[in-house]
């Protein structure tokens, strides 16, 4: 299974993709939430990592859309964002994010959060 990385920054998608590659996960990418939903419909990933602040459909809207579909209720979704206020963490988790990673982050932090949602090296 692969991972889906949704972020409007090509550089961030590439960096997260390299880290996930070290865990053995092929990565598919999307530049915003709408594109992410299209990728999700093509093939179910093992995990989704999504940014908050994006054009067209932001990460919070993406999470709400995913959680509204019963077939994706158990899909691990990790919010990876610069939003660092506790109120934002609470909003993301209430919307259905399984974990929250604040940018900038280290590989160890990302791997730890992924392990918490059951995603480890393959």
Q: Is residue 43 part of a domain?
A: yes
Question: pLDDT category, 1, cuts 50, 70, 90?
Answer: confident
Q: Give the pLDDT score at 121.
A: 85
In the chain, which residue ranges form alpha helices assigned H by DSSP? Answer: 10-22, 33-42, 59-68, 86-95, 107-116
Tally of domains in the chain:
1
Average pLDDT of the segment spanning 76-105: 96
Name 47's bridge partners: 3
Q: Is residue 63 part of a domain?
A: yes
Q: Is residue 122 part of a domain?
A: no
69 pLDDT higher than 90: yes
CA 84 to chain centre: 16
The answer to whether 90 touches 2, Cβ cutoff 8 Å, is: no
Q: Give the pLDDT score at 122.
A: 77
The answer to whether 62 touches 31, Cβ cutoff 8 Å, is: no
Question: pLDDT category, 97, cuts 50, 70, 90?
Answer: very high
Q: Give the pLDDT score at 109.
A: 96
How many angstroms separate the CA atoms of 48 and 75, rounded? 8
The domain in which residue 98 lies consists of 3-116
Q: Is residue 11 part of a domain?
A: yes
Q: CATH number, domain at 105?
A: 3.40.50.2300
Q: Is residue 97 part of a domain?
A: yes
Q: Is residue 13 part of a domain?
A: yes
Q: What percent of the chain has pLDDT over 70?
A: 100
Q: Is residue 110 part of a domain?
A: yes
Q: Is residue 121 part of a domain?
A: no
Long-range contacts of 13-18 (CB under 8 A, 24+ apart): 16/49, 16/80, 16/110
């Amino acid at each position: 299974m692969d991972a889906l990385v949704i972020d409007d920054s090509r550089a961030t998608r590439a960096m997260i993709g390299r880290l996930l590659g070290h865990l053995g996960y092929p990565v598919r990418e999307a530049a915003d939430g709408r594109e992410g939903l299209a990728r999700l419909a093509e093939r179910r990933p093992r995990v989704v990592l999504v940014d908050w602040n994006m054009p067209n459909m932001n990460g919070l809207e993406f999470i709400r859309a995913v959680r509204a579909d019963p077939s994706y209720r158990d899909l691990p979704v990790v919010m990876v964002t610069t939003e660092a206020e506790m109120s934002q963490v609470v909003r993301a988790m209430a919307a259905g994010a399984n974990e929250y990673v604040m940018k900038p982050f280290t590989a160890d932090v990302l791997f730890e959060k992924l392990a918490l949602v059951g995603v480890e090296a393959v």
